[in-house]
Amino acid sequence: MLTVWGRRTSSNVQAVMWCIGELGLPCRRHDVGHRFGGTDTAEFIAMNPNRTVPVLQDGGNPPLWESGAILRYLASRYGKGPFWPEALLPRTEVDRWAEWAKINVAMGFTGPVFGRLVRTPAGRRDGAAIARAVAALERKLAIAEAQIGAEGFLAGPEFTLADIQFGHVLYRYYDIDIARAELPHLAAYYARLTGRPAYREHVMLSYDELRA
């Protein structure tokens, strides 16, 4: 049995839970962080000294933190090709796109765009900074647009771990009130993601509690 600590509105928790759902693994999740608190307790700090979510524990193994590492752990232990190939070079290709997505897309969206627009009071929003952040993000999304148009998914013709690291932010990207670039392959890809039961269950969730 897997145990996850982290609130369901955390985008990093959503990525981990989506992966768990895709792999069909039993899991219990504890609401921790934000309005739930709990990250400053001695018990939580012993699991993750960074005091951040998610944290994963797999049976009696030591707790794991950092969402990217958790995703690779889950894929390595419970996944198989093409989701997480056994051969080094194909697996590295998936890992490369997953790392690219985390650094360039997830981090480029969550704070600079979502944080400034949704988690900042209207009177304190910097419209120019938001516009610059959206433009920077969409320069990276244009790379994904070309890759998905050529391959079908982010790391090739099949759904992989890279799509979880990339696709979990797209629900909020398409839901928030911004002007979006014309990226038809990305839009079609997102529509396909919304047809996945685990995506609907763990990613397509209200984030009203995060609004300033």
Residue type, 88: L
Rounded alpha-carbon distances, angstroms, from residue 108 to 79, 132, 135, 166, 171: 28, 11, 10, 11, 15
- Mean of per-residue pLDDT scores for the chain: 98
pLDDT classification of 175: cutoffs 50, 70, 90: very high
pLDDT, position 3: 98
pLDDT, position 36: 97
22-43 average pLDDT score: 98
pLDDT, position 180: 98
127-149 average pLDDT score: 98
For residue 198, which of 163, 174, 172 has the smallest C-alpha distance? 163
- Separation between Cα atoms, residue 40 and residue 83, nearest integer Å: 35
- The two beta strands, 27-30 and 2-5, are parallel
Burial class (CB in 10 A: 0-12, 13-18, 19+), 46: exposed
pTM of the predicted model as reported, rounded to 2 decimal places: 0.97
pLDDT, position 82: 97
pLDDT, position 181: 97
> What percent of the chain has pLDDT above 70?
100
Containing 56, the helix (H) or strand (E) segment is strand 55-58
Domains delineated in the chain: 2-78 (3.40.30.10), 88-202 (1.20.1050.10)
pLDDT, position 91: 98
16-42 average pLDDT score: 98
> Would you call the peptide bond into 49 cis, given omega within 30 degrees of 0 as the criterion?
no
